[in-house]
Each structure stands twice: as C-alpha cells, then as structure tokens.
Amino acid sequence: VQLQASGGGLVQAGGSLRLSCAGSGRTFSSLAMGWIRQAPGKEREFVAAINRSGGSTYYADSMKGRFTVSRDNAKNTVYLQMNSLKPEDTAVYYCAADVVASSRLTWHYWGQGTQVTVSS
C-alpha cells in the first residue's frame, strides 16, 4: 500500500490543522493506521493510531484531548485533527500502516511525511 500525507503547514500556537493520509490499494480498510512525528534533532515519537474499523484509537499522553485520529475507509483516508497546537508540536508528521494498531514506532508501511510548524 502507498501512503500520501498532506495538510501540514504553518500555524500559530493555539491554532488547528487537519492532516490527511490517503492510501492506495484495496487493502486500506484491512490495515491499522498510525501517525508518528519527528522533530529536528529528536527521535521519532508516536502520536496516535486507529484500528482497521476505526472503533479503537490510541494516543500519546501529550496529545490526548488535543488530537483526534479518525478514518474514512470509503475514501481510503485517515485524518489527524490537531487542536490547541503548541510550538513543541513542530515536526514532520508521518502516517504509517500495519496489521495491528498500537503505540509502537515500527510500522510496515510509511508515507512521505508532512511538515507542521507551530509559531509562538
């Protein structure tokens, strides 16, 4: 499966962005999806994940209450709604796919990443 992330950009602190990740292929609905980010000079960090049906979601503690992951299997797309953004949320955000959703950093399929920059 191929993944294409989009929706990143520059936003002021306190603002919102919605990232999208479009998947190609017929297997999208059979895969769990995740979002992982990497800030300059830092290690990759788990952000959120959602299972195949969308019935279960997982979040890093620092994102709970601010970020929401969802999916539309009819559109082969997963979303990450990010609210109350902080400068420390600045990173490249990657979408990823695998058989099972969890808070791990190792996923089988990866998209190319989209840059999110939050100004103070």
Return the residue matching tokens 């830092």: 42
Question: What pLDDT is stored for residue 41 in this prediction?
Answer: 94
pLDDT at 54: 95
Q: What are phi and psi of 62, to 5 degrees?
A: -75, -10
Instruction: Identify the pLDDT of residue 1.
Output: 87
CA-nearest of 69, 63, 60, 77 to 23 is 77
For every one of its 120 residues, what pLDDT tens digit does the chain have, with 9 covering 90 and above? Answer: 899 999 999 999 999 999 999 999 778 999 999 999 999 999 999 999 999 999 999 999 999 999 999 999 999 999 999 999 999 999 999 999 999 888 888 999 999 999 999 999
